[in-house]
Amino acid sequence: MKLSSREMVLAGMFAAAIGVLSQFTIPFGPIPLTLQTFAVGFVVTVLGKKTGTLAILIYLLMGFIGLPVFAGGSAGIGVVFGPTGGFLVGFIFNGLVTGWLIEKTPTNYFWSILANVAGAFITLFFGSLWLKFGASLPWSGAFSAGMIPFLIPGLIKAVAAGYLGHLISQRLPRSFSYSK
């Protein structure tokens, strides 16, 4: 995958933005409500699949090496491989699927929002799957803890990310954001 200097700089800047938005947290049991999923969807909607997913990978790498960019200022390998690590891993697939859907469908609000809803569901699925195996929960317990409480907030954040991401990307110069 060949990247231009512009794409690398944008990915780094937007990775930092994901880190900042991740600090907006509402404690909600072991898995907090955060703006991470909003940020992931927004970034991919603006930057596209390739650069947006790179921004997500940079964000995860920053947290992995110890920069306090995960929810609530957490960081490190323990967070990535802990009970909530599946949500973080799910961000990668969220970015890939959301970006792919946006690239393959007409450029409008409806498809941007639908792509973000699909991506948010993927994040919740990976998080629940990780809880199932990482925390040795039964399937019902994993989905009750990792998906059910987050469906409505996830839907709201996905709609906001799709709408605002599309709105912003349409108003930025073509050299800054993804455009077909």
Please, what's the largest Cα pairwise distance for the chain? 49
| Residue 28, helix vs strand vs coil | strand
Q: Which residues pair with 56 in a beta bridge?
A: none
Q: What is the pLDDT of residues 90-146, one digit of tens each?
A: 999 999 999 999 999 998 999 999 999 999 999 999 999 999 998 888 999 999 999
Q: Which helix (H) or strand (E) holds 34?
A: strand 33-34
Report the CATH fold assignment for 5-171. Arp2/3 complex 21 kDa subunit ARPC3 (1.10.1760)
Contact, 24 vs 70, CB < 8 A? no
Please tell me the distance from the alpha carbon of residue 9 to that of residue 108, in angstroms, as a whole number.
26
Closest of 73, 67, 74, 16 to residue 43, by C-alpha: 16
* Tokens of residue 141, six digits: 């317990």
Q: Which helix (H) or strand (E) holds 25?
A: strand 25-26
Please tell me which of 1-10, 48-57, 137-146 the model is most confident about, judged by mean pLDDT: 48-57
Q: What confidence score (pLDDT) does residue 31 get? A: 75
Q: What confidence score (pLDDT) does residue 18 get? A: 98
What single letter denotes the amino acid at residue 153?
Answer: P
